[in-house]
């Protein structure tokens, strides 16, 4: 089965002011994604999401030019071989740049979609897994910077929906973060897991101020207190308290994760299947973590294909952690793009994969055409 065409679709939708969420990287004004379509000479079509990296047009061009030229005519079933070929031709010689890694991620996910469709199996089965319950936490663009009382109300609503864990957006001034975290803990009680995400917004001194309060509320992790390249701050910050660090959504390929693991300052691994190199590389990163007895807690992106893929991969690794459920109030990329919602929450706060072929979704091409790229930043 040969690859006959590759095409990407950079897509956007505007976020109305009354649905906007503010976090340390800004206020949401739109959401972006890049969807990759791979066609074969046997008529099978695969779909994957390449994360937009806040430059969806640029990521799309990498797919449509460089990756297309490298992949056309190659064996669609040889996913690992094609990954290695693109790595040698594109990523190795000029460094693992974000745009190239994200573009390759979308291509890789689309090729696994084709493999699973060809087998007629759900993706988790093709990957050697089983249909099992995966713990979910309420995440996505939600639980952001707002008055503590309003944040507590949002948290209560999520508990009422069945979530047993949730992630709060930190990275504001320490006093505000402490007030929000304490308000949510008081609102939801001690039986709900509270996770925290600073979105790279802290300095070491700010972390020193918030860590005692985060320990007080028994936070399960603090995600990305610093930028991914700031290894010095991670080393200093890890000595400031007992709340473990989580990171990985902005680390690319197993090579970045190998350095992260060698440093030993992060205890929860969070690669994104649409950023880190796709399913092929996600499985390798899970294995690296497993060797160190660390759980695998992927970051999820904007669209239903990414979310569904993530659940299937979690069901196929031996160290699954949390699935990040997107509880963003408005997200047609989650609700409409794939023809159905990518997951349902059960009474225990868990999700399961679909048992249809591949990930159980088929991208609506009319939807893609109806949501063309909106230029400009997605956070302001």
Predicted pLDDT of residue 92: 80
Specify whether 232 is located in the same domain as 327: yes
List per-block mean pLDDT (blocks of 10 residues) for the chain, which spans 380 residues: 98 98 97 98 98 96 96 98 94 80 97 98 98 98 98 98 98 98 98 98 98 98 97 98 98 96 98 98 98 98 97 98 98 96 97 98 97 97
304 within some domain: yes
CA distance 219 to 215: 6
The boundaries of the domain holding residue 244 are 125-363
Specify whether 71 is located in the same domain as 132: no
375 within some domain: no
Specify whether 228 is located in the same domain as 320: yes
Specify whether 104 is located in the same domain as 151: no
Specify whether 197 is located in the same domain as 346: yes
CA distance 137 to 149: 21
155: left (phi over 0), alpha (psi -120 to 50) or beta: alpha
State which H helix or E strand residue 206 sits in.
helix 204-216
Contact call for residues 116 and 15 (beta carbons, < 8 A): no
Contact call for residues 207 and 234 (beta carbons, < 8 A): no
Rounded to a whole number, what is the distance in angstroms from the first to the last CA of the chain?
Answer: 45
**pTM across the whole model:** 0.97
198 within some domain: yes
Specify whether 44 is located in the same domain as 192: no
Q: What is the DSSP letter of 88?
A: I
Task: Name residue, tokens 């864990």.
Answer: 165
377 within some domain: no
State which H helix or E strand residue 109 sits in.
helix 98-119
Predicted pLDDT of residue 95: 66
Domains held by the chain: number = 2
Specify whether 103 is located in the same domain as 186: no
Specify whether 170 is located in the same domain as 207: yes
Task: Name residue, tokens 């031709």.
Answer: 89
104 within some domain: yes
Task: Name residue, tokens 């160190």.
Answer: 292
Specify whether 178 is located in the same domain as 158: yes
Contact call for residues 276 and 299 (beta carbons, < 8 A): no
Task: Name residue, tokens 């991670």.
Answer: 234
Specify whether 174 is located in the same domain as 220: yes
CA separation (Å) from 108 to 38, 77, 164, 165, 286?
A: 10, 11, 32, 30, 16
CATH of the domain at 95: 3.30.390.10
CA separation (Å) from 14 to 31, 52, 85, 336?
A: 7, 15, 37, 15
What sign does the CA torsion over 335, 188, 26, 20 have? positive
CATH of the domain at 204: 3.20.20.120
83 within some domain: yes
Specify whether 327 is located in the same domain as 192: yes
Specify whether 116 is located in the same domain as 152: no
288 within some domain: yes
Two tokens at 130? 């089983």
380 within some domain: no
Task: Name residue, tokens 């806040």.
Answer: 54
């Amino acid at each position: 089965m040969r690859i006959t065409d590759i095409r990407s679709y950079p897509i956007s939708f505007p976020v109305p002011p009354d649905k906007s969420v503010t976090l340390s990287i800004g206020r949401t004004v739109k959401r972006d994604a890049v969807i990759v379509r791979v066609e074969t000479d046997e008529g099978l079509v695969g779909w994957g999401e390449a994360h937009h990296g806040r430059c969806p047009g640029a990521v799309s061009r990498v797919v449509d030019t460089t990756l297309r030229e490298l992949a056309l005519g190659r064996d669609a079933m040889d996913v690992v071989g094609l990954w290695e070929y693109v790595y040698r031709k594109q990523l190795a010689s000029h460094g693992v740049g974000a745009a190239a890694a994200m573009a390759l991620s979308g291509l890789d996910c689309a090729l696994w979609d084709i493999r699973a469709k060809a087998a007629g199996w759900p993706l988790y089965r093709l990957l050697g897994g089983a249909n099992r319950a995966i713990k979910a936490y309420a995440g996505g663009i939600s639980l952001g910077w707002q008055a503590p009382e309003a944040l507590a109300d949002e948290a209560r609503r999520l508990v009422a929906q069945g979530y047993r864990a949730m992630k709060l957006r930190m990275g504001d001034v320490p006093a505000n973060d402490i007030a929000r975290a304490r308000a949510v803990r008081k609102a939801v009680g001690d039986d709900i897991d509270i996770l925290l995400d600073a979105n790279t917004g802290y300095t070491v001194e700010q972390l020193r101020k918030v860590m005692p309060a985060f320990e007080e509320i028994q936070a399960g992790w603090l995600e990305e207190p610093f930028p991914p390249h700031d290894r010095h701050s991670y080393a200093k910050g890890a000595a400031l308290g007992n709340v473990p660090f989580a990171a990985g959504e902005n680390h690319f390929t197993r090579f970045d994760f190998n350095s992260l693991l060698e440093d030993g300052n992060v205890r929860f691994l969070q690669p994104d299947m649409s950023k880190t190199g796709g399913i092929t590389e996600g499985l390798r990163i899970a294995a690296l973590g497993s060797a160190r007895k660390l759980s695998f807690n992927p970051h999820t992106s904007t669209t239903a294909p990414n979310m569904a893929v993530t659940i299937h991969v979690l069901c196929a690794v031996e160290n699954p952690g949390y699935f990040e459920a997107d509880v963003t109030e408005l997200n047609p990329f989650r609700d409409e793009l794939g023809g159905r919602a990518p997951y349902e929450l059960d009474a225990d706060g868990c999700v399961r994969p679909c048992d249809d072929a591949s990930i159980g979704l088929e991208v609506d091409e009319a939807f893609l055409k109806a949501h063309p790229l909106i230029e400009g930043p997605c956070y302001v």
